[in-house]
Amino acid sequence: MPLTVVEAGKKVRIISVMGNHGIQGRLAAMGMIPGTEIEVLRKTNHGPLIIDVKGSRLMLGHSTALSVMVS
């Protein structure tokens, strides 16, 4: 499922990152690679998500969050 459907307060694990090499590289540089556990801290319907990745808070735009598949 895409990261955009995860409710705030839930922890999930990244399964894959879809999209072009630019998006994949940018997310990998932020520590978002398959196998990494992340927590959704804040979510709005179509706005950015705030997530916790390895102790760092990151903000992802909705379209970028759609490319992150989690379970």
Domains of the chain: 3-70 (2.30.30.90)
Amino acid letter, 10: K
Supply the pLDDT for residue 61. 95
Supply the pLDDT for residue 36. 98
Q: Is the pTM of this model over 0.95?
A: no
Q: What would the pLDDT profile of 5-23 be if each residue is shown by its tens digit?
A: 999 999 999 999 999 999 9
pLDDT band at 4 (very low <50, low <70, confident <90, very high): very high
**What letters, b where the CB count within 10 A reaches 16 and e where it falls short, cover 18-32?**
eeeeeebeebeeeeb
Q: What would the pLDDT profile of 26-52 be if each residue is shown by its tens digit?
A: 999 999 999 999 999 999 888 999 999
CB atoms within 10 A of CB 39: 15
